[in-house]
Amino acid sequence: MTDGTGKRNATAPGATDPAGPNAVDSDTEATSRLSRILEAVLSVGTDLDLRVTLQQIVDTATELTGARYGALGVLDPELGTIGELFTCGLDDAGRRRIGEFPDGHSGMLGALLGESGPLRSDDLTTDPRSCGVPPGHPVMRSFLGAPIRVQDQVFGNLYLAEKRTGRFTGTDTALLRVLASRAGTAIGNARLYEAARQRERWIEGAAAVTTTLLTGGNATDALMTVAEAARTLADASAGVILQPTEAGGMEIVTASTLDDPAGIVGTTIEPGSPVLAQLLGGEPVFIDDSATDPRMTTHVRSRFGPSMMLPLQSGGRLIGTLALPRRRGARPYTALDRQLASQFASQAALALVLADSQSDREQLAVYEDRDRIARDLHDLVVQRLFATEMMLESTRRRAPSPETDELLDRAVDELDSTIHEVRTAIFALQQPPAEAPTTFRGRVLRETGGAAAVLGFQPSVHFDGAVDALVREPVERELLAALRGALAAAHRRAGVSAIEVEVDATAALPDGRPAVRLAVADDGREEDGSRSSTLVWQAPL
């Protein structure tokens, strides 16, 4: 309706819009759906965690297209098969009924690999391209899928099934094309971020291992440090160090594992094993399944699946091999995993060599210091003691008397004994220092072994009970001090030719409390000629 100027008037009150109310509702619904689509597309990839991003893509595509089921299969870049599957609309029971992942090469998924865009089917039950469906797979008719490309490389497939309102439409196809394109960009960013984070973790881990190795510790602790750090960084089931044996094989000398390590340490790869030539030659070995690979011959292989065996070598020197097996059925190692682990092994080997060299330098400094102390004792102390002994002998000849002779004889004997002890100490200083024991049992044996150099014989030692597990500080320190005192007292007695040491961790105090008991007995005699008694010391645990 127009006025006299020809301009259209607004709709009069009570009049109806020529397009009708349904058109307004349709426009509102379309605007709302477009808004949800834009919001969903923009939200894809906001989280840089790759696994979160992949699940988000599946959920978004399933919701926006009205599909009952959705899935995103990630292709293994080396094998070309589906390595991971992210689903929507399937619970855990449904996934278990399907069983193994599809291979990605047959049926509709295989057809997707040759397509540059989305692929649609209105009825899978009659489509000749549909085949190889697992027995436990849900019944599906309508299908819509699209390849996901990351930098012109197919990363995986995004596919939807069973649209709730019937068949997938052209709008659904266009939407899936946009989502697949957006997903490719998001996945590329997430992969770059994940690779950067992974490199950062390995670099930090290698630096921490190097710092730890160069701050000291024995060889066994150093190897365990490398094995433990590598196991954690690689998300492996175990970190294992193998070293060459005299027989020409390789033996597991260190194992870090979350499970019981029993049966792993000491396992030997015998000469003639197919994998041995590569390991001794310093070549890396990558295994998809340790339990079934014919190159693996050890009895522990049945525990593990994917594995890396990396040489620990530096400057042409092969220290050993670092093995990082995962559980059976665990995800395989990627090319990036292998590269980063190989770099870690090279740096760890260099750190082990440097730590060994540093230990040698420190030991050399100790030897030099001990030689200096030994020379000082010999040149100064022993010579002065000997001169004092000569002076006493001269005094006895000049002023003979029974009382004086007795006193001077005792003084000369004491000087002789002192000279003997100092020379024994000089001899001990000139011996290489033994590696410090790490157990209580080892410390007791070190004390008795050190006393043997002075006594001229080895004391016998007997242990009762789990002494290493039960005896702790400060009881351990007090017991070792009492043992040293008892051995020194036995040395001063005459006629000592045997000493028996007993450490009993099953003893009890009079009030019933558990205790550790130390008994030191010898066959010597006291100054009055009586037999020496047994020294007994005990303390509560």
Helical H segments across 235-334, by residue range: 276-280
* Per-residue pLDDT reduced to its tens digit, 77-103: 666 677 778 888 888 777 777 766 666
The CATH class of 32-194 is alpha beta
Looking at residue 293, its pLDDT comes to: 83
β 317-327/238-244 pair status: antiparallel
- What residues in the chain have per-residue pLDDT under 50? 1-24
Helix (H, G, I), strand (E, B), or coil: what is residue 318?
strand
Looking at residue 8, its pLDDT comes to: 43
Closest CA to 281 of 253, 310, 302: 310
b/e code 335-350 from CB counts within 10 Å (16+ = b): eebbebbbebbbbbbb
DSSP output for 300-357: GGGGEEEEEEEEEEETTEEEEEEEEEEETTPPPPPHHHHHHHHHHHHHHHHHHHHHHH
Mean pLDDT taken over the chain: 77
Backbone angles phi, psi at 416, to 5 degrees: -60, -45
Q: Token pair of 406, please?
A: 């007795």
Answer whether 312's CB lies under 8 Å from 328's CB.
Answer: no
Going 226 to 228 to 230 to 236, the CA torsion angle's sign is positive
* Per-residue pLDDT reduced to its tens digit, 162-213: 898 888 888 888 888 888 887 788 777 877 888 888 899 999 888 888 887 7
CA dist 191 and 50 (Å) reads 6
The CATH class of 216-435 is alpha beta
CA dist 523 and 534 (Å) reads 10
Say if residue 244 is preceded by a cis peptide, omega within 30 of 0: no
| Number of alpha carbons in the 13 Å side-chain half-sphere of residue 525 | 6
Q: Token pair of 132, please?
A: 């190889």
Topology of domain 437-541, CATH: Heat Shock Protein 90 (3.30.565)
CA dist 464 and 341 (Å) reads 46
Looking at residue 518, its pLDDT comes to: 92
Looking at residue 99, its pLDDT comes to: 65
Looking at residue 406, its pLDDT comes to: 73
Question: Does 32-194 match 216-435 in CATH topology?
Answer: yes
Looking at residue 399, its pLDDT comes to: 65
Closest CA to 532 of 489, 474, 485: 489
Helix (H, G, I), strand (E, B), or coil: what is residue 497?
coil
Q: Token pair of 278, please?
A: 């590569």
What's the chain's Rg over C-alpha atoms? 40
Structural domain boundaries in the chain:
32-194, 216-435, 437-541
Q: Token pair of 174, please?
A: 């266009």
Closest CA to 488 of 531, 529, 520: 520
Helix (H, G, I), strand (E, B), or coil: what is residue 332?
coil
List all residues 6 or more positions away from 146 whose beta carbon is below 8 Å from its beta carbon: 112, 115, 117, 118, 119, 157, 158, 159, 176, 177, 179, 180
